[in-house]
Structure 1
């Protein structure tokens, strides 16, 4: 078995380094208050002949909802009489799906009608050229509900850690498989960049960290983008249980890796012991690489977020 220092040194060998080729904000939900007479301005904007806005409900009222740029950006206006404590305007979109023209439209025509804009949801996506089927996803803090989606051969296709209702959820899925299916069903939904990945990447998996509510709250210290808030003790290993010295340990590790529900039947000491075995039998923790790449690009991601927020009409233009 390799020592800790040997594994630490191997982490920096290029041939062992997994390729994390893109990190991005994959979904952003913004909330804001109307500026002075902002509802009237927005109503006029909706009634204009601009083809970019499509109302699906509340047409002609002060509380419309619909889409901007076909179906790529959803907006909704709440009735302030019924939701007195809520910011009445919600905008939900994937920045990766917007063209430069559409991004400018949001910042120049929509967001300037609002004040005190901030996020209620931020999804951070890590695209990886690595097959994650055989990897183990271990939570150090408060293990959450899991849902697996497998193929006909029982190969992993999607793993959800946490529920849709929670403030923190992790989704791991085979992006190459998902985009190939989308290319057949609706090729217009697959971008030029994604088509290039389909042609050039042998593997393409995605790990998405979905932050909502308090987890997505951004203050002056950018707490939502902090390393601890994003990764929260997640560890990702590809263990080789055959590396164990004795048959009993090999059998136990193999059993736990293939029957995750049995972890709940172990004592705290046994859980700790076998998690340490799994770590020792693995070449690396993938999350270490995710963190390295994330910390190098974190300022860029913060800048993208703050650029949307600063497009509002507030006089005090700073992150809240």
Structure 2
């Protein structure tokens, strides 16, 4: 058997996409707390290309970054007023006068709450051109939008006082490498802040999404995105590097959610994994979701907790 290897960026692009997903799958299967040594991979591939490869670039067909998802993203993720108030209050105390870097700013839902609190500078990092287009259109004062990946931040070492993200690293190809990048760019005395919004207990509408996924993916592999457990893995990774993490509760509130809202979000394909599906699989998932929804009350109250996981830049400090 003869295997032909086509050199050049175009020939290697499919391989780079495979490598990006292989990193995350390896970590999940082996339950490792180490990031992939990506710089060594880049160095090994450099002789085959015209120059050093950008291995963090998202493939155009990546379902997380489709224009269709960006168009409906905010519609189905309303920012509750108590959460918005808590974010603005926290930012006024913690970000004023700081050079701030936000990872995975998306369409700007959280950026709008944080950037107006008088930071010295505010860079919003977003790898998706489709998401970034919405954020650029918002034209937020003082926000410097940079289309880049959290795995290769376009910032010199010791270039930021605060790095903040809101559940963005759940979708990074290598969350632990992203955490390493954060430590690289933080100045002494700086902070890495992960903002998390979770229901206080099981979400009463979760069975609708579960029924959709089970039916939609009945004939194929499960979604490529694995968000569950990412924050704990990052916390353990940072602790192994001598950076302990503190958890601070910023807000607790109740939000009323309806069965129709859950179904509408699925119908609009408002979740990244849905863009991996054929129309037939999507319709099958919707049928299962509607059947499950028929067993639930039409409206439910969901208690939420907004937390900040705060990790210092300095070792053994907190």
**TM-score range normalised by the length of the shorter chain:** under 0.3
- Greater strand content: 1
TM-score, with length taken from structure 1: 0.25
